[in-house]
């Protein structure tokens, strides 16, 4: 089965992935949520993220909020950071499409695109997202960092899974619907 690029994150009802300051304290991960995340990451062996998400991830690893993930290849796309190894990541730049196509040709599990922002928009502009996995939390933030920044073409998806959880969260999984003219 070919590798898929899966965009995934927690999101508020009003469409934010974090508060303005980047805090994700509104996302409550209980035992049930930990099991969902463990199942999700068991199917992933590669992550791609932007510079801001990488910096936040490095801080959360240092503080013990999130564990190290041995065997996971993690790439950071950045125009500011020099290419090379940094904080357990490999920083890359250049053609996003060429890089993702190269990754997808390799044997392995699926590829996780973490975070939102500019990199998310670039993946959607280049039509590189095969699946979206959203953890919809039962909260309205009123302001924050939007999950899907503007300025990308319409992309159609089909709901393939919807699960509700005891804390009021909902897990939504969508698959990209491509026509013969799309990639």
pLDDT at 32 over 60: yes
- And the tokens for 25? 């304290």
The rounded distance, in Å, linking the Cα atoms of 104 and 101 is 5
In this prediction, residue 149 carries a pLDDT of 85
Number of domains in the chain: 1
CATH of the domain at 57: 3.40.430.10
Q: Are 144 and 120 in contact (CB under 8 A)?
A: no
pLDDT value of position 65: 67
Confirm whether 168 is domain-assigned.
no
pLDDT tens-digit map of 57-77: 777 777 766 666 778 899 999
Q: Which CA distances in Å does 110 have to 44, 48, 74, 138, 164?
A: 5, 11, 12, 28, 24
Residue 29 in any domain: the answer is yes
Q: How far does the chain reach from its first CA to its final CA, in angstroms?
A: 17
Tokens of 91: 């920083």
Which domain covers residue 124, as residue numbers? 14-157
Report the pLDDT value the prediction gives residue 90, as an integer from 0 to 100.
93
pLDDT of residue 156: 96
Residues 6 or more apart whose CB falls under 8 angstroms from that of 100 comprise 5, 48, 111, 123, 126, 128
164, part of any domain: no
Lowest mean per-residue pLDDT among 46-50, 51-55, 160-164: 51-55
26 within some domain: yes
pLDDT in tens, 78-137: 888 899 998 788 999 889 999 999 999 999 999 999 877 788 899 999 999 999 999 999
So what's the pLDDT on residue 29? 76
Single pTM value for the model: 0.88
pLDDT at 5: 96
pLDDT score of 102: 94
Chain centre distance of CA 76: 12
Long-range contact set of residues 82-86: C-beta below 8 Å, sequence gap at least 24: none
Rounded (10°) CA dihedral 124, 126, 127, 131: -50
**Range ranked top by mean pLDDT from 38-42, 76-80, 115-119, 154-158:** 154-158
**Residue 3 domain-assigned?**
no
Q: Is residue 4 part of a domain?
A: no
Is 129 contained in some domain? yes
Lowest mean pLDDT among 2-6, 37-41, 55-59, 147-151: 55-59
Q: Is residue 172 part of a domain?
A: no
């Amino acid at each position: 089965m070919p590798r898929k690029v899966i965009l995934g994150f927690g999101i508020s009802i009003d469409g934010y992935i974090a508060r303005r300051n980047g805090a994700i304290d509104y996302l409550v991960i209980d035992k049930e949520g930990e099991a969902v995340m463990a199942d999700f990451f068991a199917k992933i062996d590669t992550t791609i993220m932007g510079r801001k998400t990488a910096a936040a991830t490095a801080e959360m690893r240092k503080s013990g909020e999130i564990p190290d993930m041995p065997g996971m290849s993690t790439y950071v796309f950045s125009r500011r950071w020099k290419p090379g190894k940094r904080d357990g990541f490999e920083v890359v730049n250049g053609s996003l499409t060429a890089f993702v196509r190269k990754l997808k040709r390799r044997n392995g599990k699926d590829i996780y695109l973490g975070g939102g922002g500019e990199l998310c928009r670039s993946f959607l502009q280049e039509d590189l997202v095969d699946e979206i996995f959203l953890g919809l939390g039962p909260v309205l933030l009123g302001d924050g960092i939007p999950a899907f920044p503007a300025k990308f073409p319409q992309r159609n998806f089909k709901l393939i899974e919807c699960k509700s959880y005891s804390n009021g969260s909902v897990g939504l999984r969508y698959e990209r619907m491509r026509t013969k003219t799309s990639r």
